[in-house]
């Protein structure tokens, strides 16, 4: 009877350990420190890019972005980059999205930049930003409630 008990105890300990592990993962996913980190690292990237080569700003199209109430939205929703630098849009959603500059209220592109369709779980090419400083609003042509801003300065 000693052996089965021991085995059970081990199994329980292992179960306990993996439960803690899973709880940690789940809390990471739901609390989402990546949200804070993403903003921080993108800001850092943007700053780094102004010093010359090497900084590549990436903006996420988070899961759920195709649903108006999904709480998604480009992440971060505002990025600041040097004139003429590039941004990559990273589609983490299961739907097509674009990052198209223009007026989101009328869903009218203005031709300043356009990622084109970015397929689910794919990244856009590096999209070149305007050289003229300013604030450029952009949206998804398929989901115009998805709105972001690129600040060129």
Query: Which helix (H) or strand (E) segment is 30 a member of?
Result: helix 2-31
- 43 or 88: CB nearest Cu ion: 88
99 lies in the site for Cu ion, by CB under 5 A: no
Query: Which helix (H) or strand (E) segment is 67 a member of?
Result: none
Instruction: Give the chain's radius of gyration (CA, Å).
Output: 21
Figure out which of the listed residues 107, 120, 142, 151 binds Cu ion, where binding follows CB under 5 A.
142
- 87 or 143: CB nearest Cu ion: 143
Closest separation in Å from C-beta 41 to Cu ion = 24
148 lies in the site for Cu ion, by CB under 5 A: no
C-alpha–C-alpha distance, residues 80 and 62, integer Å = 19
C-alpha–C-alpha distance, residues 110 and 71, integer Å = 26
Are 76 and 147 in contact by the 8 Å Cβ rule? The answer is no
- 76 or 143: CB nearest Cu ion: 143
- 89 or 97: CB nearest Cu ion: 97
For residue 63, count CB atoms less than 10 angstroms from its CB and return exposed for 0-12, middle for 13-18, buried for 19 or more.
middle
Single out the residue of 44, 46, 43 nearest to residue 129, CA to CA. Answer: 46
Figure out which of the listed residues 80, 82, 90, 97 binds Cu ion, where binding follows CB under 5 A.
97
Closest separation in Å from C-beta 66 to Cu ion = 6
100 lies in the site for Cu ion, by CB under 5 A: no
Span of 28-36, 38-46, 70-78, 90-98 interacting with Cu ion by CB under 5 A: 90-98
140 lies in the site for Cu ion, by CB under 5 A: yes
């Amino acid at each position: 009877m000693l052996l089965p008990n021991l085995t059970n105890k081990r199994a329980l300990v292992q179960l306990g350990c993996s439960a803690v592990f899973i709880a940690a993962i789940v809390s990471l996913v739901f609390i989402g420190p990546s949200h804070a980190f993403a903003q921080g690292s993108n800001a850092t990237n943007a700053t780094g890019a102004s010093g010359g080569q090497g900084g590549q700003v990436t903006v996420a199209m988070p899961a759920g972005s195709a649903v108006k109430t999904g709480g998604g939205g480009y992440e971060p929703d505002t990025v600041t980059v040097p004139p003429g630098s590039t941004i990559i849009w990273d589609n983490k959603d299961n739907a097509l999205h674009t990052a198209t500059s223009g007026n989101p209220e009328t869903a009218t592109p203005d031709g300043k930049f356009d990622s084109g369709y970015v397929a689910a779980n794919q990244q856009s090419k590096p999209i070149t930003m305007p050289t003229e400083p300013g604030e450029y609003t952009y949206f998804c042509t398929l989901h115009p409630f998805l709105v972001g801003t690129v600040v060129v300065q």
